Chains A and B, each alone.
Chain A
């Protein structure tokens, strides 16, 4: 999603995009210095400018298509929370602090959508309708289960593209901005998971803010499963990190599989992410 997806998709269309971006140092500097040197409101323009400059001599007609694809995924998340906040079935349970939290998360998704739509300008696609089916908003817990799935998938999606960005010409400013979104997704995921422990959601106190083993907590199992290739994108219960085959026993002490798995989140490839999204949303 977002910048990771944009880069990934741009590469499919234009394999040399990273070279272009890397050579356009001024454009990339604009991306990387968003937080320090530019007003936040100008960030989307800076990003759009960077891409347009990079693709200046190429087939511009492909750029909006790629950016719109990333926008689609962000809009999915925004739409999910927006529909939830307006769903009559959730009026009673989604109140007080819970409603405030979902409004906060929706605002962040909206900010990401704004980032992309502003970059696209008049070429932004109209927002499609997202059909989350009959169960997503049927109950408070069903809504939170879907939310957990979307947020945890979002974290995995961003992480899954980090290496691609770093290795394809080392556009570090893009990497940093993308990671700043990545950690926001993780904050959302942690909070949604914590909400599921509450009384209104049925006191599911086995659910932690972090992912224990590959426990899906009622979400689709593929959200926590292996991607493709599985060696690059292992399932969330992976115990091999940093060249260590089995962290539970390899470092001179014994750690539980639950702790080791929870201490690391895993990335996921874009094809698997898309398949997961299509399995629960019609658009």
Chain B
């Protein structure tokens, strides 16, 4: 797919052609692609290495990015719930079940939203991504909450950084719908973060490593976030095409 090979095509045709190729590849070699660009002025990935999940420029890419983050978290809590640490109290168990349920609902809501856009990155995958939690110690309460804290802080920072990346579409007002949805989940993620931090270390709900002296919470870009979650995801993540402002 060199530029010269399809430079005679219009931008829209270029993208459709590209996605068709990408989709066909996905069926045979686990190649995945996250959505198409909402913005005709932006380019899509010039090449698509195997086993790489590329978040395309535009709103669908942003939503796929958060969808993956919710998939990761839901899978984490499901794994913990499937085999609770032996020293988990009844309260711990109930809390983790709540957290699992909230994340599954977030995941499914984003999946529905992406389905409407026909751009869920995993729509054509025969088997979902198998996330890797081997680096966590899920057999102990401390290990489980430490893992939860790690993922929650990433999530809070991601949700603080993502809404501004939604592409304004005044024709449909879609950005309003998505912004409302994301901010409704963002504060719940922050509630979760405060809770799991407190369980690990009392009163650390908003410790200086999370909330700075100016009273502002953490924020991270998609590129920063995918680097942090890379150890838990079985494919290479590329967020470099997502909007940055």
Binding site for B on A (CB under 8 A): 34-35, 40-41, 43, 97, 100-101, 104-105, 107-112, 115, 155, 159, 162-163, 166-167, 170, 172-173, 175-177, 179-191, 194, 205, 208-210, 241-244, 247, 250-253, 255-256, 259-260, 262-267
Contact = CB atoms under 8 A, between A and B. Distances in A.
A194 B165 CA distance: 33
A265 B164 contact: no
A189 B190 CA distance: 10
B188 A210 contact: yes
Most buried by B among A170, A242, A267: A242
Interface stretch (B7-15, B25-33, B100-108, B120-128): B100-108
A79 to B, nearest CB: 16
B101 A112 contact: no
B180 A163 contact: yes
A104 B203 contact: yes
Interface in B16-43: none
A260 B105 contact: yes
A108 B193 CA distance: 17
Contacts of B116: 243
B245 interface: yes
Contacts of A256: 101
Contact of B206 (A115, A175, A188): A188
Interface string B178-205: 0111011111111111110010001101
Given A34-B216, A155-B187, A159-B187, A166 B109 contact: no
19 contacts: A35-B219, A40-B214, A41-B214, A101-B205, A111-B213, A111-B215, A112-B215, A163-B179, A166-B176, A167-B176, A179-B159, A184-B190, A184-B216, A187-B205, A190-B190, A209-B192, A210-B98, A247-B109, A265-B188
A265 B184 contact: yes
Interface in B84-143: 91, 98, 101-102, 104-106, 108-113, 116
Contacts of A40: 212-214
A259 B216 contact: no
A100 B203 contact: yes
B242 to A, nearest CB: 14
Nearest to B199: A194
Q: How large is the interface on B (under 10, 10 to 19, 20 to 34, 35 or more residues)?
A: 35 or more
Contact of A184 (B179, B183, B215): B215
Contacts of B104: 255
Contacts, number: 198
Interface in B133-169: 156, 159-161, 163-166, 168
B183 A253 contact: no
Contact of B217 (A43, A115, A187): A187
Given A173-B164, A187-B194, A265-B188, A242 B183 contact: no
Contacts of A263: 101-102, 105-106, 185, 188
A194 B191 CA distance: 10
B206 A241 contact: no
A244 B109 contact: yes
A262 B180 contact: no
B101 A191 contact: no
A81 B93 CA distance: 33
A210 B179 contact: no
Given A162-B180, A263-B102, A263-B185, 5 more contacts: A104-B203, A187-B205, A191-B198, A243-B177, A264-B188
A246 to B, nearest CB: 12
Contacts of A162: 163, 179-180, 183
Contacts of B230: none
B219 A194 contact: no
Contact of A159 (B168, B184, B219, B245): B184
The 5 closest A-B pairs by CB, nearest first: A111-B215, A172-B164, A186-B190, A190-B194, A183-B190
Contact of B105 (A180, A209, A247): A247
Contacts of B165: 172
Nearest to B108: A251
Given A162-B180, A166-B179, A251 B112 contact: yes
B98 A166 contact: no
A250 B211 CA distance: 37
Contacts of A115: 214-215
Contacts of A177: 216
B175 A166 contact: yes
Contacts of B111: 251
